[in-house]
Structure 1
């Protein structure tokens, strides 16, 4: 009898639900940094934050967005179930996006809090559900890796189309309309999630709450031994004089995270003997992939700055009419305007009397463009910066069938059998290091930003890191699903997102150091070296990881 090739029907329900959720999430990421640094005096005002403050908020937001799945996974496992958690999370998401449409600093931070809470309930549980519907029937289990790749395509279809919608709305109508579009998309996702279940019973069948056993820690004890100490630790990190790690928010996050990390080690310490090795293997992988997220999520900060100020975004003649027709272009001028000078940390430079020092400058796009190359008309049409955020998800849609096909080909040809999931993660980190090398070359060719770099360099680095992402991110979700003890699957999925959270915060910290590097090549060299450290760790553990996975999955 041939192998099962048809995926469970529930996959398409989860696929499109996740597609709409990621539509909103990545719409925000695409314009988040731009919105925060947009002047309050613009036609469509932004928050007016400095680049350093925006990087700090960006990293903190992404860190917290991926920290809360730890809590959301716990609540789903023990009390709410997956479907209710996903629904509540989706509604919180939508409320947060609609709140961002209000151009007010208080509304801004309250809305970010709602999105952070929504992601905590939504993200780990929809990912865990994918694994559950494959485990529910033995005939689907061999398709789990490819199922996660298909699911990952849904994520990236939403991520691809959202930036075109965001560019059109924010250029023509303002930032608020773009954020509101994200809220509408999330509501569509919630409606699809519930109506789609009428056509399949896969999802309802696996949505079972697992009450804590006598070996599990009661929720009250978790409150006193984890959440309360973590909150206290975070508060101490925020309030200590000066900074240990670049900013108050970073100190608070690191202190908070240390308590959560200790909690996960305690899960390992108190687990049954048969569960210890798979939990230990997962924790080892979680620690190793932090660097990937630190590099990958610079797309919304450091690489956005590169796209905005260092990349030639002038609309090619071939595309000028279509881009204008779609209203996806920005028009910038060489007209001089008074701009306050700032230091490396974004603080205003003051004169002897305490007044801000100003200078006459054109649009920032012309800062590193020689005057002889300024347009005679004084105006130039530029492709909107956020459209570059669609390069990565576009490549994922194109490359996913190729990567899946490549690994299927190796599975048929290799005498040792298929490439293991941990090995795919290791090779993903190798490729991630190469993506940083592409940007080093971009800096060299553009003479350290003295001339505008070709947009081809961004296409190149995103193409490379996309292959790395496909080897690593969906495989990480698959690995958690394979090695997690059934009673704590969502909780361990939360651990995967905790490692993502720490990496995301590091991405903000690294992006905040952008201005401190005179030679930008050294900024990207730092990324490459960090990635290689992770590569060494993963491949040194590979024989042990493969052995644990083989032994545990055979017993499962």
Structure 2
């Protein structure tokens, strides 16, 4: 894209940025609304008793965790393939639209509430996310190619869209599902996914050639430049036949493992019906896949210079500790949902209910008013060019305001109320919005610590949240419920830990890895997050078993002690990691 066309793109800005950024902001917001709106319901719906005013399916936490874990794991693997397809064949914009439409169908399927449609819906959501997730940020990156100094601010605004969508999705889909019926929550997620897709498609005139199908000539020019470059980091490192075979083998075994976990627990179908040396077939297969993958990574790294090799080792160390973080943090989607439902006193009345309603109203109305104001600013700048997109966005916001006002009215007119389980999940998004700028300013000050220290602090701070839950749950007997204060404090510490650790990882992958291997290493990074998500669901599914055998406090102590040990360990590795990074800060 030429400098002139980029300058043109930056005309008529909104809050100092191109109007196109805010189209992406709202597109991502509605996608996150639907994704988190469904995510906060799934475990609750599957494990809810099959009798009652709003019955679920009565699954055990272990079975629900097995299904959710595989779904969450695949969400971080399919984007690797979606990014490749968009890069080479269909372009970023078409990938976003295709992914969004597939996800809309997935939400619609889940609203039907039958086993076949649930599994179909989850499969469609995984495939759709593969197309959608990597290509939104690719469009954003391409928009700011000629203005790198503005990119940090753009990503901050975009990230706020992510959290605004997650916040409202969990709040409104969760409230409808728990108070009216599950299919209402699943259905609302799909409605906004569809409308978000439509507003993005109708905004095409704003983006010019950005995100279009890549031309063959451009790809050939990039490859030719790489061949001629004298820079070691630009030199190609083509995949050998052995590399490709190893990638296929590890991918197939990994996918079979992911599917076998829920199949064996829920459907009694075992894809690995054998044992080797006391190991189950499933565990033996995944061990072989891990060894093959390590061989692949090591042999590829050996083809680079010593400095580049060292930097890539540093990335692998960070990826390893990333597994421990997400293994604990993602309890928010499994065990903490069950804990909030079954073990937290959520009933309010009198003054406590009035205070909660005031807080809840402020939490709902203030962010919604701010985002609506951004919508008005966008409409002023783009009405002449994309009226259809603005009309669809206005319909979206009228719908959200309508559901929000109805929700608040229901709560204010009640004499007593039980806070929804999903309400606690919005705290993560709220605390991110509240504290993200403060943590960002800390990193820009003289107190900016090395990456290993940030990682260690992130793990330890998050562990404190689980420590508070272990303390709050200590000594309680069956039938006794803990104060919701402990859960609120836990989410606060979990979010602070996330802000310390999560943004650091991807930043260092981009800094440390040579351009010709960045796609492979990003893939490995997302694989680490995928493994962390799967482990989180497996361990979270044991909350009932561990509580029955030991205590609820013991369950939370696991996620207190393990991350603290990991955090201390990564901080002690700081001198080694500094040497491996060879000056990258």
Range of TM-score over shorter length: 0.7 to 0.9
* 2:498 aligned partner: 469
For 1:332-351, what aligned pairs fall within 5 Å after superposition? none
* 1:63 aligned partner: 73
1:45 Cα deviation from its structure 2 partner:
4.6
- Residue 117 in structure 1 maps to residue 147 in structure 2: no
From the superposition, tell whether residues 280 and 27 of structure 1 become closer, same or farther in structure 2 (CA, over 3 Å). same
* 1:525 aligned partner: 557
From the superposition, tell whether residues 158 and 325 of structure 1 become closer, same or farther in structure 2 (CA, over 3 Å). closer
Aligned partner of 2:537 among 491, 496, 508:
508
Q: TM-score, normalised by structure 1?
A: 0.76
Worse-matched range after superposition: 248-257 or 270-279? 248-257
Aligned partner of 1:32 among 23, 31, 42:
42
* 1:217 aligned partner: 239
Aligned partner of 1:451 among 480, 493, 500:
480
1:7 Cα deviation from its structure 2 partner:
5.9
For 1:40-59, what aligned pairs fall within 5 Å after superposition? 40-42=50-52, 44-59=54-69
Q: Distance in 1 between matches of 2:51 and 2:249?
A: 42
1:78 Cα deviation from its structure 2 partner:
4.3
From the superposition, tell whether residues 308 and 122 of structure 1 become closer, same or farther in structure 2 (CA, over 3 Å). same
Does structure 2 retain, via aligned residues, the 8 Å contact 1:330–1:381? no
Does structure 1 retain, via aligned residues, the 8 Å contact 2:324–2:563? yes
- Residue 227 in structure 1 maps to residue 259 in structure 2: no
Q: Distance in 1 between matches of 2:127 and 2:157?
A: 26
For 1:84-483, what aligned pairs fall within 5 Å after superposition? 84-127=94-137, 129-130=139-140, 136-140=146-150, 144=152, 147-171=154-178, 173-196=180-203, 198-200=205-207, 203-204=210-211, 215-217=237-239, 224-232=245-253, 235=256, 238-241=271-274, 262-271=295-304, 275-318=308-351, 320=353, 326-327=406-407, 381-408=417-444, 411=445, 413-414=446-447, 418-444=448-474, 447=476, 451-483=480-512
From the superposition, tell whether residues 290 and 233 of structure 1 become closer, same or farther in structure 2 (CA, over 3 Å). closer
Considering fraction of residues, name the structure with more helix: 2
Q: Distance in 1 between matches of 2:452 and 2:422?
A: 33
Does structure 1 retain, via aligned residues, the 8 Å contact 2:466–2:559? yes
Does structure 1 retain, via aligned residues, the 8 Å contact 2:174–2:420? yes
Q: Distance in 2 between matches of 1:471 and 1:159?
A: 20
Worse-matched range after superposition: 224-233 or 315-324? 315-324
Which runs of 5 or more residues in structure 2 are unaligned?
A: 1-14, 227-235, 261-270, 361-403
Q: Distance in 2 between matches of 1:265 and 1:388?
A: 43
Does structure 2 retain, via aligned residues, the 8 Å contact 1:103–1:176? yes
Q: Distance in 2 between matches of 1:108 and 1:254?
A: 30
Q: Distance in 2 between matches of 1:245 and 1:136?
A: 58
From the superposition, tell whether residues 138 and 178 of structure 1 become closer, same or farther in structure 2 (CA, over 3 Å). closer
1:406 Cα deviation from its structure 2 partner:
2.9
* 2:523 aligned partner: 494
Q: Distance in 1 between matches of 2:117 and 2:200?
A: 28
For these two proteins, the number of residue pairs brought into alignment is: 491
Does structure 2 retain, via aligned residues, the 8 Å contact 1:90–1:118? yes
Q: Distance in 2 between matches of 1:422 and 1:133?
A: 32
Where 2:418 maps in the other structure, the secondary structure is strand
Q: Distance in 2 between matches of 1:479 and 1:551?
A: 12
Worse-matched range after superposition: 67-76 or 24-33? 67-76
From the superposition, tell whether residues 153 and 476 of structure 1 become closer, same or farther in structure 2 (CA, over 3 Å). farther
Write out per-residue CA displacement over residues 193-234 of structure 1, whole angstroms, 9 at most, x where no aligned residue: 44556435695499788577863228x987644234532465
Q: Distance in 2 between matches of 1:53 and 1:393?
A: 27
Where 2:76 maps in the other structure, the secondary structure is helix
Worse-matched range after superposition: 72-81 or 310-319? 72-81
1:161 Cα deviation from its structure 2 partner:
0.8
1:292 Cα deviation from its structure 2 partner:
0.9
Q: Distance in 2 between matches of 1:80 and 1:259?
A: 32
Where 1:102 maps in the other structure, the secondary structure is coil
Does structure 1 retain, via aligned residues, the 8 Å contact 2:37–2:174? no
- Residue 538 in structure 1 maps to residue 570 in structure 2: yes
Does structure 2 retain, via aligned residues, the 8 Å contact 1:30–1:163? yes
1:534 Cα deviation from its structure 2 partner:
2.2
Does structure 1 retain, via aligned residues, the 8 Å contact 2:74–2:530? yes
From the superposition, tell whether residues 520 and 246 of structure 1 become closer, same or farther in structure 2 (CA, over 3 Å). farther
Write out per-residue CA displacement over residues 423-471 of structure 1, whole angstroms, 9 at most, x where no aligned residue: 4333212211222211122112x63566321111111000011111112
Q: Distance in 1 between matches of 2:317 and 2:275?
A: 32
Does structure 2 retain, via aligned residues, the 8 Å contact 1:60–1:505? yes
Does structure 2 retain, via aligned residues, the 8 Å contact 1:128–1:490? no
Where 1:315 maps in the other structure, the secondary structure is strand
1:310 Cα deviation from its structure 2 partner:
0.9
* 1:344 aligned partner: none
From the superposition, tell whether residues 40 and 81 of structure 1 become closer, same or farther in structure 2 (CA, over 3 Å). same
Does structure 1 retain, via aligned residues, the 8 Å contact 2:253–2:286? no
Write out per-residue CA displacement over residues 18-64 of structure 1, whole angstroms, 9 at most, x where no aligned residue: 22221111112211111112344555553332222112212222122
1:259 Cα deviation from its structure 2 partner:
5.0
Which runs of 5 or more residues in structure 1 are unaligned?
A: 332-378
